[in-house]
Chain A
Amino acid sequence: MTDASLKTVEIDPYAALQDKEPPRAPRNQWLDVWDQFKKHKGAVFGGGFLLFITLAVLLGPYIWNVDPQKLDIRNKDARPIWTLIWDSSAKTLWHRPFGTDNLGRDILSNMIAGGRASMAVGWTAMLLSLSIGTAVGVAAGYFKRLDGLLMRLTDLFLSLPILPLLLVAVTLFRQPLRANFGPEGGMFILIVVIVGITSWMQTARIVRGEILALKEREFILAARSIGTSPGAIIRRHLLPNVVSPIMVSATLGLAVAIITESALSFLGVGFPSDFPTWGKMLADAVPRMEEYPERVLLPGIAISLTVLGVNYLGDGLRDALDPRIRGR
C-alpha cells in the first residue's frame, strides 16, 4: 500500500459514528436466554420430550379411547406387537399394540392414564416441595434470627417416621377430602401434600448452605451498601446464584415423587388399586419381569425418560440463565 492510494480514499469522519443499519430496540435479555437455550441440544430434546409426553397423556385418551380399567380375561397376557419381530408365535393382538396385563387390561391405555396421574403427582409434589424447601432455605440462610428455628424444624421433619405420619394424615383428612373432591381428587391432594411435606428438607438444607456462603460475598455487600432491600437482594442476587442446586433437587425430586406415589398406594394410602400410575405398574410387574419384560420396561423407561428430560431441560435453562456461560 502506498501513500498515494491512501490519499484516494476519502475519509468521512461522521460515517464511522453512524450505525450500519437502522437502530434497533435493545435486545431483550430473555431473547438471549432463548437463543442460548436453543443451542443446547439436550435441553431442546428434553423439553421436546416433556412436551410430547405431556401432550400424549393429555390428548392420548381422545386418540386411544380404550378404558384402562376394562378387563378382558380372555385376552390376558398378550405381548406387544413388536414381539412378532423375533417370535412369530407370540400371543399378540393388533388392537392391543402394547399388549395386555394379567387381567387383560390394555397396557397402552394404562400407560396413558398412568402417565397422567404420575405426571400430575410428580410435578405438583415436586413444585410444592421445591417451593417449601427454597423458601425455608433462603429465609434460614439470609435471616440469622430465623435460622435456628427453621433448621430445628427441618431436623424435626427429617426425623419423623413417614409411615405413621401417613396413617395419621389418612385418618384425619381422607374423609373430608373425599367428601369434597371425590375419591381420586381427594387422594391426589393427600398424596401431593404428603410427598411435598416429607421431601422439602434436603432442598432447604442445601439452599441454606449456599446462601450462608453467598451472603458474605462482596456483591451482596455492595448491594446492601447501596440500600437494596433484603427482598430485592434475595430475588435479584441470591436466588439466581442457587438455581443450579435447585434444578438438581427438582430433577431428583420428580423421580422421588413418582416412585413414592407407588409406595404409598402399596401401603393403602394412595389411589384406588385399579387406578393406574407408572410407579404402580412398575411395582406390579416386577414379579413377572422375566416372562413379560415389557411390563416393567414401559413404565420404567417412561419414568426414566421423563426424569432425564427434566434434567436436560434444567441443564439447558441453567446454562441459558448464566450470563457467564451464555455466548460461549
Chain B
Amino acid sequence: MILKTILLGAIATTAFASTAMADGHEGARARDGEVKIIYWQAPSILNPYLSGGTKDIESSSLVIEPMGRYDQNGDLVAYLAAEIPTVGNGGVSEDLTSITWKLKEGLKWSDGSDVTSADLVFTAKYCMHPEGGCAQLSKYDGVESVEAIDALTTKITFNQPKPNPYGPFMGGQSPIIQATQFADCLGARAPECTEANFGPIGTGPFVVTNFKPNDVIQMVANENYRTAGKPAFASLTFKGGGSAEASGRAVMETGEFDYAWNLQLAPDVISKMAQGGKGQPISAFGALVERLEMNLTNPSPNLPPETRATVAEPHPFLSDINVREALSMAINRQELVDVGYGDAGRPTCNLVPAPALYASDNTGCLTQDIAGANAKLEAAGWVKGSDGIRAKDGVRLSILYQTSTNAVRQDFQALIKNSWNQIGVETELRNLDASVFFGGDPGSPDTFQKFYADVEMYANVFDGTDPQAYLAAYRCGGEPKPSSQWQGENINRFCDPAYDAMIDELARTGDLAKRGELGKKMNDMLTKDSFTIVPLVDRGRVSAHANSLGGVVLNVFDSELWNAADWYRIGN
C-alpha cells in the first residue's frame, strides 16, 4: 500500500513536470503577467542592513542578491559568484584566514551598469561603518579587510582562522548593494537615503517601481537579469499586513494571491483552507525548535532587583536536575505536534535538529512517561502535599510559565500545564505581547531575557547551516544580568566550564566531521544531560502557493523567495 502510494506520487510528479514543461515553463522573459505575494507582516524598508526583520530581508531578496545562497537542503549555491569558494577549489585559504569571491562575468545592475568588486568592497564598508547600526554586523565578525583584487575578484581576510568563512556576502542577510547608489549613505547618513532604502538598485529578477512602507511593493521584471527568459512574470505585487489567517485564505480559498508566507495556524485550520481548492500549503523543515527554557536562577519577586533572576540566587527547585527531567518526561510531544503543527512539526529532543551533520540521535524524550516522572520526583524527595502539589522542605513545585501571545503557544501552555498537573506540579500561565516579550527593554519585567518566570517557551534558530554562534550563546557569564542591562543570550543562566571549553574548541575546528561531533556533544549537554533546555517541537515552515504557480521550492535556510526568478504560471 505504501509502495503503491509512493509510485502514484512519483507518476503524479512526472506528469506534473511534463505538463509544466508543456505549459511554457520555458519562454520569453515577462511572459506570464502578474504574480502576487502576500506577507502578513508588511515590509518597512528594502535595505536588510538597516532592519533585521525577516519581512524586510525576504522582500528585498527579490531585488538585491548575495554572492551565494543556501538552497532548500542547506547546500551553498552560487548566485552572483562564479562558484562557491572552498578549500578544495582554492577559494578559501588552507589556514582558513581568507576567502576569495569571484563574480560571474557580465553581471549588470538593473540600471545597466556593471557589477564589480568595488560594489562588494563598498557593501562591506557600508555594514561595518561604526555609526551605521548595521543589523547584519555579526556576519562581518572577525573581518580584517575586504579588498578588490581585480574587477571581479574580492578577497576577505579574517583576523583569525574562520572555520565558517561564509559570513559576508552569503545568504539573504548579506546581499550586495550598489556602491554608486549608496555612496552618500554611509554611517549616520544611512537613514537620510530614503530613496535608496526604498528602491535599491539590484541584480535580482525584479525592480522596484513603487514602495509604500508597511503596505505594498510593486515591482517589474529586471530587463538586465542575468538569465535569459527569466523571470517569467512581468510584474510582481508584494502586499503586506493583515493576519496569517487572511493571507492563507487569500491564496487557498479566494485565489486572490499566488503566494502566502509563513502560515502560523493550527493544522486543522490550514487543511480546511486547503479544501478551498485554489492553492496548497507547502512545508519544509529547518532547525527552528520550539523549546522550554528552564530558569536556573530564582525569579522570586521578594528578592531585591539586583539579585533577582541572577546567578547569585539559584532557583529553589529547578536547580534540581530531577525536577527538570521529570518536567520533560511528563510532556507528550506528539500530542503537541498534533494540536499545533500537524505535518509541519515533529517532536524533537534536540536543540539542533538539523542539518544532519549536527543532529544528535537523542530520542529519549519522545515517549511521555508520567509514572516515571512521578517516581523520579518521589525518589528525589518531592512528595505530594494535601493539595496534590509536590513539595520538599517547604518549597512547592509551583511554576510560572510564560510565553508570547500566539494561539498555538497558548494551546501548548494548556496541554503542558495539564501534563505537569499529573505529576503534582502547579502551573500558572502567562502570555505576553511579542513586542514586549522579545524586546530588550531593561525597564520591563516581561522580557524573555529578564526571565522573571520559572519556565518560558519560544522558538529559535540559526542563520544558514552552521550552529556555532547558536551553541556559543550558553557560555558562563553570557547571561542577562543587571550589569549588562539585561542583555545576553544565555537565557537559562547555564554555566559549565566543560561546555565553555567545547565552545572554544568548536571555534578552532575546521574539520566538518569533528565539528559535527562537537556540536552533537554540546547539544546533548544542554538537553538530555542537564535538561536546561527542553526541546519540544522541530517546527517546519508552512507557506502556501496558488495551484497555478509553478516552480516554488520552499527554502527555510535562506529567503523564501530565493528562487522567485524560476517561478512561472501553469497554463489553464
Direct contact of A and B (CB under 8 A): yes
Binding site for B on A (CB under 8 A): 69-71, 73, 77, 102-103, 167, 170-171, 174-175, 179, 183, 265-269, 272-274, 284, 287-288, 290-291
Evaluate contact between A71 and B414: CB separation under 8 angstroms. Answer: yes
Hey, which chain A residues are within 8 Å of B431, CB to CB?
A: 265, 268, 272-273
Residue of B nearest to A179 (CB): B301
Evaluate contact between B432 and A287: CB separation under 8 angstroms. Answer: no
Evaluate contact between B411 and A103: CB separation under 8 angstroms. Answer: yes
In the assembled complex, how far is the CB of residue A295 from the closest CB belonging to chain B, in whole angstroms?
Answer: 13
Q: Which 9 A-B pairs have the closest CB atoms?
A: A268-B432, A273-B410, A268-B433, A71-B418, A272-B429, A287-B269, A273-B431, A268-B431, A267-B433
Residue B150 interfacial (CB < 8 Å): no
Residue B149 interfacial (CB < 8 Å): no
Evaluate contact between A274 and B266: CB separation under 8 angstroms. Answer: no
- Could you tell me the distance between the alpha carbons of A174 and B265 in the complex, rounded to whole angstroms? 30
- Could you tell me the distance between the alpha carbons of A184 and B417 in the complex, rounded to whole angstroms? 17
Evaluate contact between B245 and A287: CB separation under 8 angstroms. Answer: yes
Residue of B nearest to A288 (CB): B269
Residue B407 interfacial (CB < 8 Å): yes
Known: A71-B414, A103-B411, A273-B429. A291 touches B272 (CB 8 A): yes
Q: Interface 1/0s, chain B 477-510, versus A by CB < 8 A? A: 0000000000000000000000000000000000
- Could you tell me the distance between the alpha carbons of A71 and B269 in the complex, rounded to whole angstroms? 20
Evaluate contact between A266 and B301: CB separation under 8 angstroms. Answer: no
A–B pairs, 10, beta carbons within 8 Å: A102-B411, A174-B445, A266-B405, A268-B405, A273-B429, A273-B431, A274-B410, A284-B407, A287-B266, A287-B269
Evaluate contact between B414 and A69: CB separation under 8 angstroms. Answer: yes
Residue B378 interfacial (CB < 8 Å): no
CB contacts under 8 Å to A, within B99-147, are none
In the assembled complex, how far is the CB of residue A110 from the closest CB belonging to chain B, in whole angstroms?
Answer: 12
Cβ-defined partner of B268 (8 Å) among A102, A167, A265, A274: A102
In the assembled complex, how far is the CB of residue B16 from the closest CB belonging to chain A, in whole angstroms?
Answer: 29
Cβ-defined partner of A71 (8 Å) among B245, B265, B415: B415
- Could you tell me the distance between the alpha carbons of A174 and B402 in the complex, rounded to whole angstroms? 15
Q: Interface 1/0s, chain B 261-295, versus A by CB < 8 A? A: 00001101100100000000000000000000000
- Tell me the number of A-to-B contacts counted with CB atoms below 8 Å: 71
In the assembled complex, how far is the CB of residue A260 from the closest CB belonging to chain B, in whole angstroms?
Answer: 15
Residue B428 interfacial (CB < 8 Å): yes
Evaluate contact between A73 and B339: CB separation under 8 angstroms. Answer: yes
In the assembled complex, how far is the CB of residue A39 from the closest CB belonging to chain B, in whole angstroms?
Answer: 48
Cβ-defined partner of A272 (8 Å) among B245, B265, B430: B430
In the assembled complex, how far is the CB of residue B389 from the closest CB belonging to chain A, in whole angstroms?
Answer: 15
Q: Interface 1/0s, chain B 419-441, versus A by CB < 8 A? A: 00000000011111100110000
Cβ-defined partner of A267 (8 Å) among B272, B339, B405, B413: B405
Residue B444 interfacial (CB < 8 Å): yes
Hey, which chain A residues are within 8 Å of B415, CB to CB?
A: 71, 73, 103
Cβ-defined partner of A102 (8 Å) among B266, B335, B405, B430: B266
Hey, which chain B residues are within 8 Å of A274, CB to CB?
A: 410, 413-414, 417, 429
Cβ-defined partner of A171 (8 Å) among B405, B429, B443: B443
- Could you tell me the distance between the alpha carbons of A144 and B500 in the complex, rounded to whole angstroms? 72
Known: A103-B411, A272-B429. A73 touches B443 (CB 8 A): no
- Could you tell me the distance between the alpha carbons of A273 and B402 in the complex, rounded to whole angstroms? 10
Residue of A nearest to B253 (CB): A290
- Could you tell me the distance between the alpha carbons of A265 and B406 in the complex, rounded to whole angstroms? 11
Hey, which chain B residues are within 8 Å of A174, CB to CB?
A: 445
- Could you tell me the distance between the alpha carbons of A70 and B413 in the complex, rounded to whole angstroms? 13
Hey, which chain B residues are within 8 Å of A77, CB to CB?
A: 268
Cβ-defined partner of A103 (8 Å) among B272, B301, B414, B436: B414
Known: A71-B414, A287-B265. A167 touches B436 (CB 8 A): yes
Evaluate contact between A183 and B433: CB separation under 8 angstroms. Answer: no
Cβ-defined partner of A273 (8 Å) among B414, B418, B445, B446: B414
In the assembled complex, how far is the CB of residue B334 from the closest CB belonging to chain A, in whole angstroms?
Answer: 11
Residue of A nearest to B272 (CB): A291
- Could you tell me the distance between the alpha carbons of A27 and B265 in the complex, rounded to whole angstroms? 65
Hey, which chain A residues are within 8 Å of B418, CB to CB?
A: 70-71
CB contacts under 8 Å to A, within B231-256, are 245
Hey, which chain B residues are within 8 Å of A170, CB to CB?
A: 446
Hey, which chain B residues are within 8 Å of A71, CB to CB?
A: 414-415, 418
Evaluate contact between A171 and B410: CB separation under 8 angstroms. Answer: no
In the assembled complex, how far is the CB of residue A249 from the closest CB belonging to chain B, in whole angstroms?
Answer: 30
- Could you tell me the distance between the alpha carbons of A274 and B401 in the complex, rounded to whole angstroms? 12
Hey, which chain A residues are within 8 Å of B269, CB to CB?
A: 287-288
- Could you tell me the distance between the alpha carbons of A70 and B446 in the complex, rounded to whole angstroms? 28
Known: A102-B268, A287-B245. A175 touches B430 (CB 8 A): no
Evaluate contact between A273 and B436: CB separation under 8 angstroms. Answer: no
Evaluate contact between B429 and A268: CB separation under 8 angstroms. Answer: no
Evaluate contact between A103 and B445: CB separation under 8 angstroms. Answer: no
Hey, which chain B residues are within 8 Å of A171, CB to CB?
A: 443-446
Cβ-defined partner of A175 (8 Å) among B301, B407, B417, B428: B301
Other A-B pairs beyond A268-B436, A274-B429, A288-B268, 19, CB < 8 Å: A69-B414, A70-B418, A71-B418, A73-B415, A77-B268, A102-B268, A103-B411, A103-B415, A167-B436, A170-B446, A171-B446, A174-B445, A175-B301, A179-B301, A269-B433, A273-B430, A274-B417, A290-B272, A291-B272
Residue of B nearest to A270 (CB): B431
Hey, which chain A residues are within 8 Å of B268, CB to CB?
A: 77, 102, 288, 291
In the assembled complex, how far is the CB of residue B211 from the closest CB belonging to chain A, in whole angstroms?
Answer: 27
Hey, which chain A residues are within 8 Å of B433, CB to CB?
A: 167, 267-269
CB contacts under 8 Å to A, within B323-379, are 335, 339
Residue of A nearest to B332 (CB): A73
In the assembled complex, how far is the CB of residue B425 from the closest CB belonging to chain A, in whole angstroms?
Answer: 15
- Could you tell me the distance between the alpha carbons of A179 and B300 in the complex, rounded to whole angstroms? 11
Known: A167-B436, A274-B414. A103 touches B265 (CB 8 A): no
In the assembled complex, how far is the CB of residue A188 from the closest CB belonging to chain B, in whole angstroms?
Answer: 15
- Could you tell me the distance between the alpha carbons of A272 and B417 in the complex, rounded to whole angstroms? 12
Hey, which chain B residues are within 8 Å of A175, CB to CB?
A: 301, 445
- Could you tell me the distance between the alpha carbons of A269 and B430 in the complex, rounded to whole angstroms? 9
Residue of A nearest to B269 (CB): A287
- Could you tell me the distance between the alpha carbons of A273 and B301 in the complex, rounded to whole angstroms? 22
Hey, which chain A residues are within 8 Å of B432, CB to CB?
A: 268
- Could you tell me the distance between the alpha carbons of A179 and B400 in the complex, rounded to whole angstroms? 14
Evaluate contact between B445 and A73: CB separation under 8 angstroms. Answer: no
Residue of A nearest to B409 (CB): A273
Residue of B nearest to A166 (CB): B433
In the assembled complex, how far is the CB of residue A307 from the closest CB belonging to chain B, in whole angstroms?
Answer: 26
Residue of A nearest to B411 (CB): A103
- Could you tell me the distance between the alpha carbons of A266 and B405 in the complex, rounded to whole angstroms? 7
Evaluate contact between B339 and A103: CB separation under 8 angstroms. Answer: yes
- Could you tell me the distance between the alpha carbons of A71 and B420 in the complex, rounded to whole angstroms? 12
- Could you tell me the distance between the alpha carbons of A106 and B407 in the complex, rounded to whole angstroms? 18
Hey, which chain A residues are within 8 Å of B339, CB to CB?
A: 73, 102-103
Hey, which chain A residues are within 8 Å of B265, CB to CB?
A: 287
Residue of A nearest to B445 (CB): A171
Hey, which chain A residues are within 8 Å of B335, CB to CB?
A: 73
Hey, which chain B residues are within 8 Å of A70, CB to CB?
A: 418
- Could you tell me the distance between the alpha carbons of A290 and B339 in the complex, rounded to whole angstroms? 18
- Could you tell me the distance between the alpha carbons of A272 and B401 in the complex, rounded to whole angstroms? 10
- Could you tell me the distance between the alpha carbons of A102 and B301 in the complex, rounded to whole angstroms? 35
In the assembled complex, how far is the CB of residue B112 from the closest CB belonging to chain A, in whole angstroms?
Answer: 47
- Could you tell me the distance between the alpha carbons of A284 and B266 in the complex, rounded to whole angstroms? 11
Hey, which chain B residues are within 8 Å of A103, CB to CB?
A: 339, 411, 414-415
- Could you tell me the distance between the alpha carbons of A103 and B484 in the complex, rounded to whole angstroms? 41
